[in-house]
Every structure is written in structure tokens, then in C-alpha cells.
Chains A and B, each alone.
Chain A
Amino acid sequence: MSEPQRAGTSPVPGAPDGGSDAPPVPPMVTVRGVRRTYGAGRAAVHALRDVSLDVAPGELVALVGRSGSGKTTLLNIVGGLDRPDAGSVTVGGTEVTSLDEAGQVALRRDLVAFVFQTFGLVPVLSAAENVGVPLRLRRLAPADRERRVGLLLDLVGLGDHADQRPGELSGGQQQRVAIARALAASPRLLIADEPTGQLDSETGLAVMALIRAVVEAEGMTAIVSTHDPVMIALADRAVHLVDGQLTDG
């Protein structure tokens, strides 16, 4: 086991180091000894090597690393989009790695929400319709769904762009729609994979501030991969991933 793994075992931010009477708050996300390799033999690519990490509830963690360092792989495994070759991941008390496909679908539907670097919007749907997708998965009544979509679009400042399709929005606007969609089903964990990767710095900062704000407002946990120092500064803490291993940074 390499040394950097210890960085991932850091205590939950804000919690006393010890001596408190309050029972310890279980982490929202627990990653233990996760390994993921693509390919085999000499062509094998070790995307993650024995990664362990805890993320406390309400914490916004910046996952920092260069392209190819394994950030997306780790986020996908945490979000149930991918499976590790070894190790375990627990999200909100749910052992993700042992879930079958239906369980993973339920996890993404009820517990976890994603914000992708490429925004991940369905191009033929309007902004409001994109935001409404998670609500439809929960079969919310149309009136409630419309109300919630309106609130979220207002929250991200796109109330006037509800009927526009992604192709008619700027990159920042699209990402804000993606954030609104991620928030729609009130997830407990927000996973954002380089949400500002395709945005200019000013827009990226605004998006990151938005994420910061909604995480605080909604009381959710967030893991955001980025390599932008400004974005890192907005996080509660940063964990560094280098060649598939967590380091102290």
C-alpha cells in the first residue's frame, strides 16, 4: 500500500480531532482500496490503485489531478457508473460496488447526481425538460414537477431560458442547467466531473460558486474534480490524484 492513501483517510472537516462526546458522523462517501485497471497485460492501464477516501456529509471536496490521473474513473465508481476491480465504495451507507444494475440505477436516481464536463444535457430537450428528467424518473406529478423545475432554473438564474435547448445556450448556461438538473431530485451526493472544463475562467468561477452555494443551501455533499486553483479554493478541501493514487498534494 502506498503512502498517499493516508491522505484519503483524513477526518471529516469541522469535526474535532478527538475528545468530543458527540458520536462520530459517518462519512457520506467511503472509498476503500479501490483499484481499476483498463485493458490487460502490457497494455493495461492502472487508472486507480488502492484508493481510499472518506467524504463527510455536507463537505465539498475538490478532486484535483491532471488529465488521465483517474479522477473521472474514481467519480464514476463512486456514482455507480463503473465498477472497481477491487475495493469497496459506500455512499450514504449503501455499498455501491455490490449493487446490481437496478440498484445502481436507483442509486443514481435517488442518491447521487452528476454534473459532467460536457454538461450531459439531452440536446433535443429544452432547459426545463432537461431539468425535469430526474423528476420524471421519480414520477412526480406534472404540476409539482413544473413548479420544482421553475424554482431550480430560477436558482441557477435561467428562469428566462426554460424553453431554450442546449444548442441555444452558452456553455455556462448549459452547465447551470446541468447543475439545476443535478439538484432536481435533491440528491445527497453531487458528483461534478470537471464542471468548468469547457468554460472560460470567469464563467467557470461563477459555476463553481453556484455549486458551492447550492451545496450549502441544499446541505448536500459534493465531490468536484478540477485542476483549476480557483475552483480548488472554493472547496472545503482538496484531494490530489496522481497516476491513480491519492497524494497529499
Chain B
Amino acid sequence: MAEPPPGHRRDAGRAARGGRAGGRPALVLRRASTQVPLLAAVLAVVVAGTTLLGTCVLLLTTAQDRALEQAIARAGPAEVDVTVGLRLAVPDAGDGAPDASDPPAVDAAQVVADATALVEDAFAPAPSSTSVWLASALQYLPATAADTLRLGYLLDAPGLEAAATLAAGRWPAPTATAADREVAVLTSTARALDLAPGDRVVLSPDPQHASEQADGASSPGSTEVGVVVVGTFTRAHDQDGAQGAWERDPLDGEGVDTSTGLIPAYGPFVVAPGTLPATEVPVGRVSLVVRPDLSDADADELVAMGPPSGSLRTDLTRTLGDAVSSTAVASPYPRTLADARTQQGITSSGVLVVALLGAALAATALGLAARLVAVRRAAEATLLVARGARRGQLVRQAAAESALLAALAAAAGVPLSLVTFRAVTALPWLAGAGLAGPASVTAPLVVAVASAALLLAALLVAPSVRPVDAGAHRRPRRGLVARSGTDVVLAAVAVAAYVQLRAHRVATGAEPDPVLVAAPLLVLLAGAVLVLRVLPWVSRLAEGHARASRGLVLPLAAWEVSRRPHSTAGAFLLILATAAATFGVSFTSTWWDSQADQAEAEVGTELVVDVTGAPVLAQGAAVAVATGGDVSPVTRRAIALGSRVGGGTEESTTQLLAVDTRRADALMRGRLPEGSWADVSAGLAPTTGGAGPLVPAAPTLDVTVTGAADDGTPLETVPGLLVEDAWGSRTLVVAATPVPLDGQPHTVPVPVGAVDGDPEVRVVGVELPLTLLAPQDVPWQSDITARVTATVDVPGAHLDAADALGTAGGWSEGRSPSDFGAVRNARATQAGSDDGVAVTATASVSLTTLLYADAAIVVTALPAAEELPVVVTEPVARELGLGTGAPLSLTVGGTTVEATVVGVAPYLPSVPRGPAVLADHDALSRALVARADLTSMTDTWWVAGLEDPAAAVAAAGDLGPTVTRADVTAELRDGPLRGALRAALWLLVVAAVGLALAGTAVHTATALDARAVEVARLQGLGVSRRSVVASFLAEHSAVTLVVVAAGTGVGAFTGWAVGPLLAVSATGRPPVPAAAFGWPWASQSVLVLGLVLGCAAVVVPVALRTVRRATVAHLRMDAS
């Protein structure tokens, strides 16, 4: 029988002296006492594995719960508030006279209380606050002179001041008597009804009565109500839900509804808060906004609360019964929760990938350790068997030892997991997301750690079941075939997982996605296994070269590498660990960059400012001054493409994006597969510059209009100027009062809205809507046409050089396709003088058509192209079969513009998904003006070139809602629901490096220890210690370098193939733009260098110790 090495023999002897073989704790403990370093290393690996898994469990449970709580707590009102609209069973004016079939009177207070309780209960136990707006049933306003019926309503809206800006007068206050009720009205209502503070209005359910009471006197005992206007107001800008607030108004805050076929409605007449129920006017509509305070709700409560709109509506209908005639519910919370849980699921998938990779690494390290332990104990096992021990006894003995290790590891793993979790969540980005803090011991944590410890420790039993032949130097062919078969199967499964991942377009729901989880693990494992099979060829190649060498050191190292049995186990661990670590670093980079790319695509530029509450012409200067950046007006709205209207959602409706494409590279953000946005948008901008009189910026411009019809028909107009600011934003500013076209000059103020001192603005168009002052004098039976000429004198204006020289192209007609041909052949000229510039427009006007159609003379100084060049996104091109040169009809608002496709882009900035069309802002505006549509195309402002983005955002925040690329990027990267993934990836890297070094240490120590006899023999042959150490180091350096390189290759391949597919968007869909493989050279170099140096730090002392310990005593021992 071969004689074992001294350590083995000593252990075996001690074990044998322990008494009868098998199962005795004393024997286990005595043996353990002789192998403390080895068992301590094994225990450390088990503890490391269980701690990693325990930490991942906490990241999957505690951290995710906190993330959900934080995400919901940070959600805005629009994502949480429940809005309930109830129409009470009360007839509006105009619904007909009351009769016996009308429902009985409704107790509005009771309806409000019941509805409020029902909605608030849905969020119990979280406290809620409820805002109630009450609108009266529609009442008749005093009829006009033409006996036109008009409707109005009262509105009781607490907190309205936050959604409105007082324009004149004051807000209404409660009054002592019903006769003096105070109201405030929107400026649009006031303008339409010619109301001003101090005016009195009567609202009545009786149209005749209202007409009779037009003088304002209400009769005692009637149900009509008289109100006094004490103030006028405008809607506030769209901040803090102000826009949403106006959706609760029956007229959406428009103030006027003159829809065809309906009685015109005006309102609201806003009464003092809480006073509507006290009036004689019945409450017709109730609008509830329930805002739950979810800041203290825990994750379980959050998941349980907030029923979807459908069920809440059903409950309300059932509870309120006949008191309401219709119920509408908007409950965004379930969607918000579902979105958050989807992100949770995606993050959980990533964390689970890390957990599985960590488990695989720990299992590999334990498998290696188990094998080394078995080799170390082979002699003991042989001796015990020789003394009559059965294999089962040895297995039981190993199991007892494993159970002890598992218990120790579990006992250590739980607190270490808690400590690690606390350390991980203290990382800045997780702490910033609100995830920091200690975790408590939970059942999932204990179960996971204990299970992991047991399973990992169970690996130590395996060699006892299937004993290790420590002396085997060449593997049996059957084993090789079996391993090859396993490799092929694993590779096939990995390929299948990869194919599945490629085809996987949307991550599944709130739970971890199995495809996202399995694919990287399988690809990494398969890659490591396959590379491991290639390494022997490499080593044999090296051996061939080494054989030709004269010396001994390198050939000996090469021989050891290529022929030493069991070195593949250590190599596999190092390959897998390196691959996992490099994959972790690579995927972190891929994911990280993808979030930035997605944020760029979503925002479209550096900073988006939606300026509200300020005239359009004051906005550009305000944004420019506040941000100090490169400012550009942008059109961003839904349009129809031909007959394609879309499905109502933003992603199914075609979105129009119009920006200043001359500055595309500066303004537009979003990574493209190739080229730049300037390339994409080339050819969209007009080639000709602007023209028209330049005017100093001012709040108001007094223009003088002189005009008349050649046949003397009395006409009037409300002159409008299309004014362009220095940033290219155009808006139509209209005179406050109409002007008669009677041949006399009439000066009228035009509220331009610009600010004194701002850069000059340019008048690029004039609109003269025509109204017949005596329509009864125009015969409708025949087409009467008159030549109308009007001159608009713009004081203080001047022409720039091109205009003055007459090279700017002159003025042209803006022809409306919807005026039924009322205005034809419009022409205009401009003439500059010291006092200003006069624009004279003339056109043939069909006076007959004016009887039934709105018409205006529109002339513009903007040269218009025949067709608008546009770029469409791939979804549009695919769906409509469009290619370059294809014609396209865009319906923008109510105007249809003919366009030509000049290019196809994968997506557009700010429109990452769905159909979209890109146009140049100037070209789009010109195209619309050419069709007499002078609507402002400035929906938002894009700002680029910011020197201090944070300061710019802070300053722009006063102007209106802002969205910044940086904020969206930060939210996508470090938001509460996202940060755990990055933490888990870094944990994977650390764990992989740690396990790699621990495995290398255990493997090297054991392997070199087993070679002490060989070292002694070499020294006996005359090989110096230095040469032996050099051979060891050469051997391990070569192995480490090759294996780490191979692992890096596997990690890089997995990162390249799988990483971009794993970097799904926050909604679980493929990101836009597609994620690009990230390979941060600096981090990867540090990682690889660290692994190599770490392995060297482990191997060098072990090699020195081994050589030092090799004595002549080893010469009498058997090398096996």
C-alpha cells in the first residue's frame, strides 16, 4: 500500500486511535482539531457564501420593501390621488321642466360623506385628506339681446387660489344674505359675458325668468340666485397639480363652452368656500380628490390598499344608489403601484442573478474545498476502511461534521448578513434613496441562510459517498466522456437561455423574471466550463515549448500545470469567479450607461422647462436669463398622420416633435446607433431666413389699423400680430378690442407680453379676422365679394437690411382651407418710415361667406416651403410603409400640413417609444402659417449648454415645471427601486474576488502541501530551493494569468452577449436606445490586476513555506 504523507499519516493515526471507526463525535472533533486551518478555511467559505445569500435575501425583501415605501412616498399627487366625479341626480337647466318623474332631492352633503368614506377606506389605515369641489346644477344666465340662451353655474372650490391667479378684484367672501353672494370668474368668462368686478348676474333655473331678470333684480321667493362679481382670475400655471385641479371644473377651466349644437355655457362663478350648499341652487356635480398620506404605510399595506378604478366605481355606484346619475373615478394608485412593483421585479431579477452567481461560486469553492479535504483524509479513510469501517459510517461521519459546520455557518451567517446589509445600504446611492438602516432578523433570512449553509456543507459529504483517488494521475475515459456530455448539455441549455433572452421583450410583472435570472448564470457557467476544457490544450502547447528548454524550472512548471490532477477544480473556481466579477463590472457599466441613455432619450435635451403663467413672448427671455443656456422653443404634441389617429395613449398616438434643427447637436440628446442628430435632421430646416419688421420688446404695442371694404360694407376686425421672439418662438397676439374697418385710422393696444429690455421681436404675420357689422344687409342668396384693404402701422418698428433691400422675399398669403373660400388672393406689402413700419394687406372677401363662416385675412413675411420635410420613427415607417420621399399628411391641431419623409430614425428625443415625427420648428410654424394657422407652436422650452445645470434648474423652477436629464438619470440609476441592483452587483464583485482568493488559498495550500515529498525529492536531486520556488511561482503565475484571462474572456463575452439584454427599462421593456455593451477598462484592469496580485499574495508565502518545510523525512515517503 502506498504510504501517505506525514500530515495525512499523522491524521490517520490519530483518527484510528479514536476508536471504532465511524460516527463518533469525539473522533470528528479530534480529527477537526488536527485540521483546524483547513476546516477554518472551509468554514470561512461556507460563511461567505451564506452571508452573500443572506444579504441578497435582505436586498430582495427588506430593501425592496423599503424601496417600495420610498417610491410611493415620493410619488406625486397625480400618481396617487383618487379623483371621483359624481353627477347628482339633479336636473340641469335645459334638461326640461321639473316633473313628477324627476328624482327626489339629493342630500349632497350625505353623498359627499359616503363617497369620501368609501374612498378613504380604500387606503386605510393610511390617513387621507379629501378636497371637495361642488358645482351647482347648470342655471340660466340672463339672455342676450338676441335672445340667445346661456348657461352658467356656481362653483364651491376650496383651495382654488392655488390653481388660479387673481387678475382683478378679490376672491369672494361669505356674505350674510343670499342677495349679495360674491363670486369670482375666469377672465375668459368675464370677457365673454362682458363682466367686470362689481357687475351683478342672476342665475335661474327658468330661462324666461332669467331673461326677465336681466336687469339684475331677483324676485323674492324664487330659486334664482343673484351674484356679484368681485374678482376675475386666470388659471395658474401647471405646477403642483394646478392643471389637474381644473379638470374638476365642468368646463375644464376654459371659462366658456360654445360647442356647436349646445347652449353656450359660461363659468364657473366661484363662490366663497363652503357657501354653495347654503344657496338655493342645487348641487349638480361633486368632485372629490382624496389624497392618501402614504408616507408611513409599510410595504404590505401599500400592496393591499388602493382598489382599481373599476371596483371603486362599482362600490360608489352601489353605495350612493339613486342619489347619483353618473360616477367617474380616476385612481392612478394601482397603476403607480403596479409600475413600482414591476421595477421591483426587475431589480429583484438582477439581485437574484447575483445571489445565484454567488451561490454557484460558493458551491464551486466548497466543492473544491471538499475535494481537498477528501484528498487530505484519503489515507485516514483507507485506514478506517481497513479497520472495518463501512462506507456508510464514513458518510455519516462526514455528515456529522458537515452539520456542525452548517450550524456554525448559519449562526455566523445571519448576523453577518445583517451587518453586510447595513454596510451595503449605507452606500451613498442607497442611503440617498432612503434604503439605509439596519435590518431585523426575518424568517426568509433565517431560512435562506440555514438552507444555504446546509446545502453548501452537504457538498463536503459528497467525496465520502464517492471516494477520491488521490493517487490517480490520469482520468478514466468514462469520466471524461460523462463530463463532456455534461458540458455539451450545459452549453446547449445556455444557448437556449440566451436565445430565449434575446426573444424576451418584456420582463414579467412584479416577481423576478426567470429568463432574466437564468440566462446570465447559465451563460457564465457554460462559458467557464467550456473554457476549462480548452485550457489543457493551451497548457500542452506550453509544455511542448517548455520541453525544448535546457533548464528545469519552466518545463517543470509546464509539466505540473498540464499534468497535475485536480488543478482544474481550482482553475474552474478562478475562472468562474473572474468571469462573474468581470461580468459584474461590465454589466454595472452597461446598466449604468443605459440608464443615462434612456434618460437622454426620455428627456430629449439637458433641461425642459414648461413655462406657464407667462405670455409666450416673455418666456424665451425668461428661460434664457434664468438658465443661461442655449434656449429653444419646442413643439411636442399628439398629431394625426393621415387617417392614423392612434389609440389614445401617448405611445400609440403619433407624437410630433419640432425643434430648431439648425442646433440639433446642441439641443437634442439621445444616443443613436450611428451618426448624430444633426445628421438625422439634416434638410429639415428652411434655407431662407426670417423677415418682417423688428420691434423693441414691450408689454404692449399700440398699432393703428386703417382699412375698409371697397364697396363700403361695414366690417370690423380684431387685429392680431404673429410675433417671433429672438429664440424663434412665434405667437399670435391679438388686440384687446375690435377695430372698425371704416377707412379711418384706429389705434388699438396689442398685448404683446414681451418684457421691456428683452431682445427685439419680429412681426412675421398679420391676421385680420373679419366680422360683418351689418350682416342683415348682406344678401345670402348671391355671392357678394368686396376688396378689403387694411394697413397696420406698427410704431417703432424697423426693417432689417434684407427687408430694407427688398431681398427678403416679401409677404405672402396665409390661406385657410377651412374658411370656405371667404378670403382669397391676400397680398401684403410693407413700408418702413421713421415712425415705424406699415403692413398693408388686401384680399378679396366673400361677404356672403362671412355670414356663416369665420374668416380672416392672413399675411406673412415667412417664406413657406411647398411641403414640410419630416423624419419619421421606425414604428411609423413600419406601420405606414413609409420610406424616404414618401408623402405624408400631418394634422396638427385642426390644420393639415402636407409633408415629405426625408429620413427614418429609430426614435426621437423625448419620444423614445411609439410613432413620432420630427420636424424643424421654424419650418413647421411656416407651414402652419401658410395655412392661416397662427397657433403658437411653443409647447415647451429646451435648454442645452448649461454651465451650471443645478443652478439653472433651481432658477427655471420658478418659471414652471422642469425636467432635467440629470434628474431623470439619477432617478433611473439611484431611485429607490433601482439602487439595490447596483449594490448587488458590487457585492457580487467583492464576493467573487473574495471567494476566488479564498479558494486559491485553500487549493494552493493543500496542493503544495501534498507536494512536499516531491519537493524533497527534487532537492535530493540537486534542485535548489530557489529553483523549486521559482518553478512553483512560474506554475501558479502561468495558471493564474491564463485562468484569469480566460475568466475575463468569459465575463466579457457574457457581458457583451447578455448584459445589454438584461439592462431592461424601468417598465421591463427593452431600453431605448438599445443598451450598449460597457467595458470600463480602468475598473476591469484594477479588478484583473487585483485578482492576479491577490493570487500571488496567496501563492508566494505558501510556496515558500512548502519548500521550507520539505525535509529529508519526506524522501522516505510515497508521493501519492
* Residues of A near any B CB (own CB < 8 A): 72, 76, 79, 81-82, 101-102, 105-110, 114, 116-118, 120-125, 129, 133-134, 136-137, 139-142, 145, 165, 167, 181, 185, 193
Point out the residue from A116, A122, A142 that lies within 8 Å of B1018, measured CB to CB. A122
Which residues of chain A are within 8 angstroms of B689 by Cβ–Cβ distance?
A: none
Interface string of B1014-1053 (1 = CB under 8 A from A): 1001111111110000000000000000000000000000
Docked complex: B517-570 residues within 8 A CB-CB of A: 547-552, 555-556, 559-560, 563-564
- Is B1115 interfacial (CB 8 A cutoff)? yes
Which residues of chain B are within 8 angstroms of A181 by Cβ–Cβ distance?
A: 1021
Pairwise interchain contact A102-B1024, C-beta atoms closer than 8 A: yes
Point out the residue from B550, B551, B1014 that lies within 8 Å of A122, measured CB to CB. B1014
- Is B1117 interfacial (CB 8 A cutoff)? yes
Pairwise interchain contact A118-B1118, C-beta atoms closer than 8 A: yes
Point out the residue from A79, A110, A123 that lies within 8 Å of B1120, measured CB to CB. A123
- Is B118 interfacial (CB 8 A cutoff)? no
Decide: A81 near B550, CB < 8 A? Known: A124-B559, A181-B1021.
Answer: no
Which residues of chain A are within 8 angstroms of B388 by Cβ–Cβ distance?
A: none
Point out the residue from A107, A116, A123, A142 that lies within 8 Å of B473, measured CB to CB. A123
Which residues of chain B are within 8 angstroms of A82 by Cβ–Cβ distance?
A: 1112
Least CB distance from B955 to A in Å reads 74
- Is B755 interfacial (CB 8 A cutoff)? no
- Is B3 interfacial (CB 8 A cutoff)? yes
Which residues of chain B are within 8 angstroms of A117 by Cβ–Cβ distance?
A: 1116
9 A-B contact pairs sorted by A residue (CB < 8 Å): A102-B1024, A105-B1019, A108-B1020, A114-B1115, A122-B1017, A134-B1022, A137-B1022, A165-B473, A193-B1116
Point out the residue from B552, B1019, B1115 that lies within 8 Å of A136, measured CB to CB. B552
Decide: A116 near B1116, CB < 8 A? Known: A123-B1014, A134-B1021, A137-B1022.
Answer: yes
- Is B1119 interfacial (CB 8 A cutoff)? yes
In angstroms, Cα B1021 to Cα A137, docked, is 9
In angstroms, Cα B549 to Cα A139, docked, is 9
Decide: A133 near B552, CB < 8 A? Known: A117-B1116, A122-B1014, A181-B1021.
Answer: yes
Which residues of chain A are within 8 angstroms of B548 by Cβ–Cβ distance?
A: 142
- Is B485 interfacial (CB 8 A cutoff)? no
- Is B471 interfacial (CB 8 A cutoff)? yes
Which residues of chain B are within 8 angstroms of A110 by Cβ–Cβ distance?
A: 1022
Least CB distance from A131 to B in Å reads 11
Pairwise interchain contact B1020-A118, C-beta atoms closer than 8 A: no
Pairwise interchain contact B550-A167, C-beta atoms closer than 8 A: no
- Specify the chain A residue showing the minimal Cβ separation from B1017: A120
Which residues of chain A are within 8 angstroms of B552 by Cβ–Cβ distance?
A: 133, 136-137
Which residues of chain B are within 8 angstroms of A105 by Cβ–Cβ distance?
A: 1019, 1022-1024
Pairwise interchain contact B1014-A118, C-beta atoms closer than 8 A: no
A-B contact count (CB 8 A): 98
16 other A-B residue contacts (CB within 8 Å) besides A105-B1023, A123-B1120: A81-B1115, A82-B1112, A102-B1024, A106-B1022, A107-B1022, A108-B1020, A108-B1021, A108-B1022, A109-B1022, A116-B1017, A133-B552, A133-B1023, A137-B1021, A137-B1022, A167-B473, A193-B1115
Least CB distance from A54 to B in Å reads 23
Pairwise interchain contact A167-B471, C-beta atoms closer than 8 A: yes
Point out the residue from A114, A118, A133, A142 that lies within 8 Å of B1119, measured CB to CB. A118
Which residues of chain A are within 8 angstroms of B474 by Cβ–Cβ distance?
A: 165, 167
- Specify the chain B residue showing the minimal Cβ separation from A116: B1115
Pairwise interchain contact B1022-A81, C-beta atoms closer than 8 A: no
- Max count, chain A CB within 10 A of own CB: residue among B547, B550, B1118: B550
Which residues of chain B are within 8 angstroms of A140 by Cβ–Cβ distance?
A: 550
In angstroms, Cα B1020 to Cα A118, docked, is 13
Pairwise interchain contact B551-A139, C-beta atoms closer than 8 A: yes
- Max count, chain B CB within 10 A of own CB: residue among A133, A142, A185: A133
Interface string of B559-601 (1 = CB under 8 A from A): 1100110000000000000000000000000000000000000
Least CB distance from B337 to A in Å reads 63
Pairwise interchain contact A114-B1020, C-beta atoms closer than 8 A: yes
Least CB distance from B549 to A in Å reads 8
Which residues of chain B are within 8 angstroms of A167 by Cβ–Cβ distance?
A: 471, 473-474, 1120
- Specify the chain A residue showing the minimal Cβ separation from B552: A136
In angstroms, Cα B1116 to Cα A108, docked, is 17
Which residues of chain A are within 8 angstroms of B1014 by Cβ–Cβ distance?
A: 122-123
In angstroms, Cα B1115 to Cα A121, docked, is 10
Pairwise interchain contact A72-B559, C-beta atoms closer than 8 A: no
Least CB distance from A31 to B in Å reads 17
Least CB distance from B916 to A in Å reads 67
In angstroms, Cα B549 to Cα A53, docked, is 41
In angstroms, Cα B1025 to Cα A120, docked, is 17
Decide: A129 near B559, CB < 8 A? Known: A108-B1020, A137-B552, A167-B473.
Answer: yes
Point out the residue from B563, B1116, B1118 that lies within 8 Å of A72, measured CB to CB. B1116
In angstroms, Cα B551 to Cα A137, docked, is 6
Least CB distance from B765 to A in Å reads 92
In angstroms, Cα B473 to Cα A106, docked, is 31
- Max count, chain A CB within 10 A of own CB: residue among B474, B559, B1021: B1021
In angstroms, Cα B1025 to Cα A124, docked, is 19
Which residues of chain B are within 8 angstroms of A72 by Cβ–Cβ distance?
A: 1112, 1116
